[in-house]
Amino acid sequence: MRLFFPRSWSASPRPVRQPAWAAWRAAGGPAGARRRRRRRQSRCVWRALAAFAPAPAQAEKLAVTIHDSQGRPLENAVVSVMVRGTRERAGADATAEMAQRERSFVPQVLVVQTGTPVSFPNLDTVRHHVYSFSAIKPFEIKLYVGTPAQPVVFDRPGTAVLGCNIHDKMVGFIHVVDTPYFARTGANGSATLDVPPGEHRVRAWHPVLQATGTPVQDTVKLPAGASAALTIRLPGG
Ligand SMILES: [Cu+2]
């Protein structure tokens, strides 16, 4: 036989309402209240600072063309733009790759920001033995296939010439710059960069300058809301 109870009997008891002071104690008591007040105050300070912070920098187009001494366009030239107030070293998440494929370095010229770890994946079935004697980063990765576990961090600006102990014809370059604004020219010798407006130093480097050759420098005025173009001629080639 089934028994029916009045609803009020079978329903679960109503939760006891917590007095306000208990909730306050649970939230940390007087110390919690002070913490919350401090948090509110610091939020106010941050909001006030944010109101005065400069708006995110706008970027304009800067087209740079690199010629050799004969006026011919140079492919694989590195263009870097020094913008005052920008971080010289790469952020913690920066990475780059200098692969080896068909017994060549790919790309032949790699440009990275100072502090970037570069890995050297070997995409061939033969073993390579990559090294550099260059002052900015002497290193050696002995006979290997696949990708070496440890990347090489390029922590000084300049150029590292790469070679392979097994294949003498393999030559590659890693050009390291103290700026996040850089690009490599295409077959037409040009590169277009997005750069904040202002007056900036522009540097150009290409293997024709030799590894120890310092980049050729020029300046450019990039007005806000407009674009600019610049041609730099390198001695050599
Ligand atoms: Cu090799």
What percent of the chain shows pLDDT beyond 90? 72
CA of 93 to the centre of ligand 1 (A): 29
Among 87-91, 191-195, 233-237, where is mean pLDDT lowest?
233-237
Question: What is the pLDDT averaged over residues 55-65?
Answer: 84
For the chain, give the mean pLDDT. Answer: 85
Q: For residue 72, give every residue at least 6 positions away whose Cβ sits within 8 Å of its Cβ, in sequence order, or none.
A: 189, 237
CA of 187 to the centre of ligand 1 (A): 26
CA of 236 to the centre of ligand 1 (A): 28
The Cα–Cα gap between 196 and 223 comes to 9
CA of 144 to the centre of ligand 1 (A): 9
pLDDT over 50 (residue 93): yes
Tens of pLDDT along 166-225?
Answer: 999 999 999 999 999 999 999 999 999 999 999 999 999 999 997 567 899 999 999 999
- State the pTM of this model: 0.75
Phi, psi of 42 (to 5 degrees): -70, -30
pLDDT at 228: 96
Paired tokens of 101:
């494929």
Burial of residue 73 (CB within 10 Å: 0-12, 13-18, 19+) is middle
CA of 101 to the centre of ligand 1 (A): 9
Q: How many CB atoms lie within 10 A of CB 214?
A: 10
pLDDT at 236: 76
